[in-house]
Amino acid sequence: MRPALRRIAAGCLLAAPLVCEGRLVGLDIERREVVADGRDFGAAGPYEKLVGRARFEVDPADVRNARVFDLAGAPVDGNGRVRFSADFYLLKPVDMARASRTLLFEVNNRGRKIAFMRFQDTLAAANMNDPTQSGDFGNGFLMNRGHVIAWVGWGADIAPGDNRLTVDFPVAQQEGKPVAERILTEFGDRNFGGSTPTTLPLSGSPVFRSYPTVSTDRTEAEAELWVTPSDSPRPNSPAIPRGERVPDSDWAFSACPDGWPGTPSRTDICLKGGFRNDRNYHLLYRAVGSPVMGLGYVTSRDFVSFLRHAPADGGAASNPVAGLDTTLCLGISSSGMYLRDFLYQGFNEDENGKRVCDGMHIHVAGVHKLFLNYRFAQPNAFSQQHRERWIPDTNFPHQYGVRGDPLTRVPDGILKRPSSDPKVIHTDTSNEFWQFRASLTGTTEGGRMDLGESPRVRRYLLASLQHGGHKGDPPGYGIANRQCEQLTNPLHPGPLLRALISSLETWVRKDVKPPDSRVPRLADGTLVAPEELAWPPLPGVRYNALLNGSGERDFGPRAVRNTGIIDKLFPEVRYPHRVLVPQIDTMGHDIAGIRHPYLEAPLATHLGWNTRRAEFGGDDLCDLLGSTIPMARTEDEAKTRGDPRPSIAARYRDADDYAGQVSAAAARLVAERLLLPEDVAPLVDEAKARFAEAVRQP
């Protein structure tokens, strides 16, 4: 590896106009290294990583760039272009002749690469942000297929460190000065780590950049701090409790790691007595210095377009992965919300009108879109029952297909540009129905009727799974291992996701349609209101029928179609949504959806939700975590516990019987193209170990 940077100027500068794709104007490659000690990944052989910085420029007058809010207020160069840059990361076969010609582009999650933990079963100890050693790549599934895998920075709120992908975006200006607006930010237990800190960055975490206050003087900053036990009322509704105002004498814009009053700071807050885990705190203040956050959509658009279309001519204008013919884009959790909004706002076509992503896998986003293309956007925030419910995430449209707005009757939808719309596979776990209002992706806002789906979309429920987690994570109790009442849900979606992204690739490449959507529906009784859930009285489990209430909200006249400026920091409710959840069987497992073989042959009840302990708010749902309630080993044990479920001994003759039932369930999924044949044996082997652990005496 040469110590000097190798600079590649993009074809948009030096090549003919016909090959000018997007406005990526240069790649500065800082590292180029073979990974995994040269391990062969299937027929693709060894892989290498290319790490560096991508440089961009855009014309703010171009209609496709004008979609970026505040771009017109960004500084321009002598040619009238806005310049910016972002970190990038590429994994490619050393020999591109052995590549699959498919680009898998993952939208990074808060600067992190998380695809391998879902699709390649990478363990928690792996180096996800800078994968290098063989173990960092898990089972190598995506690489064994020969895909080029790419990431680029997009979040202007991401602070450098830990190999996170960062960007350098211009700050929006008015009359030559950085814009200032009054904003709201929230602090909750996810910021506290189980402790009671007295001071925090205004962003809530040092991993994220804070928007500075215009002044440490509360009056000049128009600042107020409010506190409430929960963001969510009972019964479920879209209303957001305001709580009580914290006296100005009890908090300050200051950094006070050693206690009150600390040192005045425009980027920190100090609270007398510390922040409590059973409280949420809303800070309203006048902030200054908003990056043009919507450029986060342009970095992905133009980076992917360049990798797909720019030529390799052996000179200064070379593309290191030239020759690709298919692009699959992947977004997980907030990054899935990013892709829903990326589509809705029209960024899946580059400056030449060409499609950027041919196919998309949107995973665990629910119905949400992202809080990004706004002034003072906060894409790290995500709404859930208990906290952060003030963000713009669920306003119309909710579905992919076009239909009339219930208020205005004006048609709208996420997929409304046939020439550039991709084929979409959308997967949610059970948790997203409780927390991310996933039912609204397939029903009317009133929750009384199922809706048809766009022929370009397949939706699947991964039954009874929680939002996330690494392969092999032992069940725990959430933050500080004491947040949740029940053990978390360790079932891993990897085998199911691998089959679905394989179907997506075949759908895009060969137009072979994936299996039909598998989601709960009103029509067959598998989608119900939470109070209609057939809840079995499992010992030690409280069912409160709580979920993340939802409604159409008014954020003020300058916030339109999920872009703009938020004036109503506590939004007004225009009308409520009726959010529904999957109906369950006698074990407590979701009836509809793709059922993991370990649900068909259970050793425990696995739920997509969990509840909080009193220290962390009590009764409310416990973040994005599920539950595990082990079955009794014997009938006598079940009787003693008052457990209505059959015991392990009653359900299975022995370990071989259990493994056989898992194998049969896996074979059914293979026949339905919902599991790859090569994933059956590992599931059965793991099942034997699970059985031995479940029947082991304490």
Q: What is the pLDDT of residues 594-631, one digit of tens each?
A: 999 999 999 999 999 999 999 999 999 999 999 999 99
Which strands, in side-by-side order, build the sheet including 199-201?
A: 199-201, 268-271, 251-252
Q: How many domains does the chain have?
A: 3
Q: Is residue 335 part of a domain?
A: no
With respect to residue 88, please indicate whether it lies within any of the assigned structural domains: yes
What's 241's domain CATH number?
2.60.40
Q: How far apart are CA 489 and CA 471, in angstroms?
A: 11
Same domain, 608 and 500: yes
Q: In the structure, what pLDDT confidence band is assigned to residue 311 with cuts at 50, 70 and 90?
A: confident
Tens of pLDDT, residue by residue over 55-78, are 999 999 999 999 999 999 999 999
Are 4 and 74 part of one and the same domain? yes
- E strand map for 315-429: 326-332, 359-363, 403-404, 411-412, 423-429
471-519 tens-digit pLDDT: 998 999 999 999 999 999 999 999 999 999 999 999 999 999 999 999 9
Are 30 and 83 found together in one domain?
yes
Q: What is the mean pLDDT of residues 657-679?
A: 98
Confidence of residue 303 (pLDDT cuts 50, 70, 90): very high
Quote the pLDDT of residue 484: 98
Do 88 and 231 fall into the same domain?
Answer: no
Percent with pLDDT over 70 in the chain: 96
pLDDT band, residue 697 (cuts 50/70/90) = low
- Extract the runs of DSSP E, i.e. beta strands, from 289-357: 326-332
* Whether residue 59 is found in the same domain as residue 93: yes
Is the bond preceding residue 261 a cis peptide, omega within 30 degrees?
A: yes
Is residue 476 domain-shared with residue 610, that is, in the same domain?
yes
Q: Is 361 among the domain residues?
A: no
Instruction: Assess whether 152 and 193 both reside in one domain.
Output: no
Classify residue 641: in a domain, yes or no: no
Query: Pairing between strand 326-332 and 359-363?
Result: parallel
pLDDT at res. 456: 97
Please check whether residues 6 and 132 belong to one and the same domain.
yes
Q: What pLDDT band is residue 680 in, cutting at 50, 70 and 90?
A: very high
Average pLDDT over residues 569-589: 97
> For residue 31, what are the contacts with CB-CB under 8 A and spacing of at least 6?
1, 49, 50, 51, 52
pLDDT at 302 exceeding the cut of 90: yes
pLDDT of 317: 46
Query: Quick one: 10 and 59 in the same domain?
Result: yes
| Averaged pLDDT of the chain | 95
Least confident of 315-319, 328-332, 600-604: 315-319
Look at residues 630, 646, 681 and tell me which one is the last residue of a structural domain.
Answer: 630
Q: What digits encode the pLDDT tens for the residues 177-210?
A: 999 999 999 999 999 999 999 999 999 999 999 9
- pLDDT class for 312, splitting at 50, 70, 90? confident
The predicted pLDDT at position 86 comes to 98
My answer on whether 465 and 573 are in the same domain is yes
| Pair 107, 206 in one domain | no
Per-residue model confidence (pLDDT) at position 698: 64
Question: Which whole number is the average pLDDT over 119-132?
Answer: 96
Check whether residue 83 and residue 225 sit in a common domain: no
* Structural domain range at position 212: 180-288
Using the predicted structure, report yes or no on whether residue 314 has a pLDDT greater than 50. no
Q: Which of 271, 288, 305 is the last residue of a domain?
A: 288
Residue 651's SS3 state is helix
Q: What is the predicted pLDDT for the residue at 12? A: 42
Listed residue (657, 648, 651) closest to 684, CA to CA: 657
Is the Cα torsion angle 579, 584, 587, 591 positive or negative in sign? negative
- pLDDT above 90: residue 15: no
Last residue of a domain, one of 585, 604, 630: 630
